[in-house]
Chain A
Amino acid sequence: MASVIDERQAEIADEFAMFGDWMEKYEHIISLGRELAPMDPADKVDDNLIKGCQSRVWLAARKNADGHVTFTADSDAIITKGLVALMVRALSDAPASDIAGANLSFLDEIGLHSHLSPTRSNGLQAMVKQMKLYGLAFTAGA
């Protein structure tokens, strides 16, 4: 049975399948970045900073009473922010254990997997790792 995360990933892949070329995909990602709900300024602190070499990413996580994890995030580079928005859409408000074990294949499917590669110094890889760590920590009841 597909987890809620897998369902969301499928939706995202379908959404991107509507776009013809890379330029339209990036325009969509840029608009997603602009639309991402702002982080609570109290959360946009160095402790929540995930440093990629070039673009910075902030990530905050809260565990809810129902065992779901809510993520908020931001980035100073708008394309990274758009991809961050997709991550939050995929992983936020989902069970902690699902987050810990998530397989984020949707970036491959929408043709932007290179953005998540370890060699890309945009902080995205590190953010995904951190999101999964939160999932793991919150699963353990932390």
Chain B
Amino acid sequence: MTTPTSYDVHAIRAQFPILSREVHGKPLAYFDSAASAQKPQAVIDAQARYLSHTHSNIHRGVHALAQEATEAYEGAREKVRAHLGAASTREILFVGGTTDGINLVAQTWGRVNLSAGDSIVLTRMEHHSNIVPWQMLALERGFDIHVVELNPDGTLDGDQFEQHLNRGPKLVAFTHVSNALGTVNDVKHWTARAHDAGATVLVDGAQSVPHLAVNVQELDVDFYTFSGHKTYGPTGIGILYGKEALLDAMPPWRGGGEMIGTVSFENGTTYNELPYKFEAGTPHISGGIALGAALDWMNGVGMASLTAHEHVLTQHAHARLANVDGMRFIGTAPCKAGVVSFLIDGVHPYDLGTLLDQLGIAVRTGHHCTEPLMDKLGIPGTVRASFGAYNTVEEVDRLAEAVARAAAMLR
């Protein structure tokens, strides 16, 4: 059991300066990429190079730096378009992150299209960022939220999904990959079924884009979001993809410079064309450029190689951890990506995470911003080990040994 031989994990690790750190006197084993991924030198350099050589405000200005900065930023937008397989850069919006993107859709498309008597469909496994914006809007607009529950293995209850679709919801919003369970949902299938029912579809891609190749046209989703910082890029930047016809029909969200056509006190103000209609003010220019560099980096490794490597790690983690007394895996879907969530009988996840930290192993514990899921499962949270391009089989062995040692202390 090994990663395909063309994947040189040590050469990849060497590109991540932070991985040479020690924590509590031990080498860092970073198993928290689902919370945020580490950054390769190429991404750090791209951001630093922009700030050192190219920085200027973009989209206006006649001088050379303004032109270079604009080309770099818009060049990054084109990289995102190509990476997602979108038809046009008019469909690629730079936003603050996945959370920001979902709030944008809720406050524009949602505000126009959802009111009392309407319903939307969410799922039990959603991250708070794909729940709370809809709850906030529902309080104002009066529509209902129906929840698709889960099977014991952490997959969506397909029968119930169909039942909810039968009610003719206006929107179906769900995650591509669960950050708590690792479940990979069949986005193409459920998008088609939702469209058959007349619904618009928003998919949270925060945990999929770092791990899987995604083609938004093939999936036929209406909205798709992801975050730069989970895909080896910087924080504070993300992408909202939307079909052009939908984005055209939506009112703008934030008002200000850049998103306008003309501004007048006397004659009214007009708005800019896509994508700028939704990009008010000076953006996170260095962030957008670094996000483009992060996508270049991932494609340099190869998405298929990344997916395969992480699959090996996930399988290995399951196999090694299964031998620990009292082990209970949370999320056992046949199709999973990049995440192993677990509990040890009689042990609070927080305690386990504390002791793993002492051994230099970074995992995340708690409800992972999926409190409705944890409540339904009747657990305070889980211990979650999540994998990235730089994790090794040896690190997974270290994790399993540490879990066994910590569990013995705590049981």
Q: Digit string of B352-393 for contact with A (CB within 8 Å is 1, else 0)?
A: 001100100000011000000000000011000000000000
How many residues in B have their beta carbons less than 8 Å from beta carbons of A? 15
Alpha-carbon distance A78/B355, docked complex (angstroms): 12
Question: Shortest 10 CB-CB distances between A and B: which pairs?
Answer: A77-B348, A54-B350, A77-B350, A54-B366, A79-B351, A55-B350, A77-B351, A22-B358, A78-B351, A79-B354
Q: Which residues of chain B are near A27, meaning CB under 8 Å? A: 409
Binding site for B on A (CB under 8 A): 22-23, 26-27, 30, 53-56, 76-80, 121-122
Q: List 12 A-B contacts (CB under 8 A).
A: A23-B358, A26-B354, A26-B358, A27-B409, A53-B366, A54-B381, A55-B348, A55-B350, A56-B380, A76-B380, A78-B351, A121-B366
Q: Which residues of chain B are near A79, meaning CB under 8 Å? A: 350-351, 354-355, 410
Beyond the given pairs A26-B354, A55-B380, A80-B351, 7 more chain A to chain B contacts, judged by CB atoms under 8 angstroms and listed by A's residue number, are: A23-B358, A26-B355, A26-B409, A30-B409, A76-B348, A78-B347, A78-B410
Alpha-carbon distance A108/B355, docked complex (angstroms): 18
B284 to chain A, nearest CB (A): 25
Q: Which residues of chain B are near A22, meaning CB under 8 Å? A: 24, 358
Binding site for A on B (CB under 8 A): 24, 347-351, 354-355, 358, 365-366, 380-381, 409-410
A59 to chain B, nearest CB (A): 18
Alpha-carbon distance A55/B410, docked complex (angstroms): 15
**B410–A54 CB distance below 8 A:** no
Q: Which residues of chain A are near B358, meaning CB under 8 Å? A: 22-23, 26
Q: Which residues of chain A are near B350, meaning CB under 8 Å? A: 54-55, 77, 79-80, 122
When C-beta atoms are compared, the residue in chain A nearest to B347 turns out to be A78
A136 to chain B, nearest CB (A): 29
Alpha-carbon distance A55/B352, docked complex (angstroms): 12
Q: Which residues of chain B are near A76, meaning CB under 8 Å? A: 348, 380
Alpha-carbon distance A5/B263, docked complex (angstroms): 67
Alpha-carbon distance A122/B349, docked complex (angstroms): 11
Alpha-carbon distance A79/B348, docked complex (angstroms): 9
**B365–A54 CB distance below 8 A:** yes
When C-beta atoms are compared, the residue in chain B nearest to A22 turns out to be B358
When C-beta atoms are compared, the residue in chain A nearest to B348 turns out to be A77
When C-beta atoms are compared, the residue in chain B nearest to A122 turns out to be B350
Alpha-carbon distance A126/B216, docked complex (angstroms): 46
When C-beta atoms are compared, the residue in chain B nearest to A27 turns out to be B409
Alpha-carbon distance A53/B348, docked complex (angstroms): 13
When C-beta atoms are compared, the residue in chain A nearest to B381 turns out to be A54
**B24–A54 CB distance below 8 A:** no
